[in-house]
């Protein structure tokens, strides 16, 4: 197990590993690790010879400066958690190692970024694509692991890697939830005790929405979730959309050709949370 801070050293380690014919799995993270991240690391370890984890809070994907400043950072705890889970390399670069020059690339996501996160966080996905493609160039993984909680991010990264012909398989892993249903997120640790209780409105309304599917149309389910969140004290709904899992376009019937997903984003106090549920599984 080795922790690497510099790009040059990472490149030389990766070169040697690839020359020795070993498969490389990669888990990119922004740190403040929780069980959701560790589940990605475990999938990665099962499916690859070498597991590389990156910890880098990417400034380019924060459209809100305060959000970037408040984002939790706890490198020592992260490394201890990774040591107990197992890994081969951890890459913990500073900003200049990832972006020696400002990254001015502008990506075309073919409209996948027009709704939900893309609409509410302008520039967010462009920043995600900048960092992930940069990290892919450095780590040269055979497989890369992402959580389904960031459903739109996954769809966008699949498009980017396919458009750019990156020889990497994008592997999606299930959402990991707390015992009471709250989707695990690094941002949960910013919630007060009261907000933590209020945040349950998100997962609970998604579970109720799924149960309503048999008797109600997507529009009716959307109205229900919207009303429920709007009447939850201390929870400000940003959006709830019921979408086709491939095109990310809103659906009007359940019998879509692809999985139908319900995606929600809301602010609980100052903390912005997202969650989703698959209506088709």
Q: Which residues are catalytic?
A: 37
- The tokens describing 271, both together, are 């903390």
Min dist CB 37 to ligand PAF, Å, is 8
- Nearest CA to 112 among 266, 263, 270? 263
Q: Is 193 helix (H, G, I), strand (E, B) or coil?
A: helix
- The tokens describing 212, both together, are 């309503």
Based on CB atoms, which residue is closest to ligand PAF, 131 or 206?
131
DSSP category for residue 174: P
φ, ψ of residue 156 to 5 degrees: the values are -70, -40
Residue 241 Rama label (left phi>0; alpha psi -120 to 50; beta) = beta
- Nearest CA to 217 among 253, 259, 181, 267? 253
Min dist CB 128 to ligand PAF, Å, is 5
What whole-number distance in Å separates Cα of residue 140 and Cα of residue 169?
A: 11
Q: What does the binding site for ligand PAF look like in residue numbers (CB under 6 A)?
A: 28-30, 58, 61, 128, 131-132, 150, 153
Distance separating the N- and C-terminal Cα atoms of the chain: 38
Min dist CB 32 to ligand PAF, Å, is 9
Min dist CB 54 to ligand PAF, Å, is 7
Counting DSSP H helices and E strands in the chain, the numbers are 11, 9
What whole-number distance in Å separates Cα of residue 271 and Cα of residue 279?
A: 26
Min dist CB 277 to ligand PAF, Å, is 19
Measured in whole angstroms, the distance separating CA 33 from the mean position of its chain's CA atoms is 12
Q: Contact, 170 vs 133, CB < 8 A?
A: no
């Amino acid at each position: 197990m080795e922790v690497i801070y510099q790009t040059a050293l990472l490149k030389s380690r990766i070169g040697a590993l690839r020359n020795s014919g070993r498969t490389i799995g990669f888990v990119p993270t922004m740190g403040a690790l929780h069980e959701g991240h560790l589940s990605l690391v475990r999938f990665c370890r099962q499916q690859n010879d070498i597991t590389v984890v990156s910890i880098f809070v990417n400034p380019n994907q924060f459209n809100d400066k305060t959000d970037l400043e408040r984002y939790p950072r706890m490198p020592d705890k992260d490394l201890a958690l990774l040591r107990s889970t197992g890994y081969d390399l951890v890459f913990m670069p500073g900003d200049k190692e990832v972006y020696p020059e400002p990254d001015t690339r502008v990506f075309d996501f073919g409209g996948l970024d027009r709704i939900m996160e893309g609409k509410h966080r302008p520039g967010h996905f462009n920043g995600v694509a900048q960092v992930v493609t940069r990290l892919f160039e450095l780590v040269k993984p055979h497989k890369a692991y992402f959580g389904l909680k960031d459903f739109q991010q996954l769809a966008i990264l699949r498009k980017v890697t396919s458009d750019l012909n990156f020889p990497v398989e994008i592997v999606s892993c299930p959402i990991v939830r707390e015992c009471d249903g709250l989707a695990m997120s690094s941002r949960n640790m910013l919630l007060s005790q009261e907000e933590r209780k209020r945040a349950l409105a998100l997962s609970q309304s998604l579970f109720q929405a799924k149960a309503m599917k048999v008797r109600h149309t997507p529009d009716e389910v959307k109205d229900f979730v919207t009303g429920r969140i709007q009447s939850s004290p201390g929870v400000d709904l940003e959006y709830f959309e019921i979408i086709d899992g491939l095109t990310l376009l809103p659906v009007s019937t359940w019998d879509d050709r692809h999985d139908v997903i319900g995606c929600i984003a809301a602010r609980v106090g100052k903390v912005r949370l997202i969650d989703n549920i698959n209506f088709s599984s």
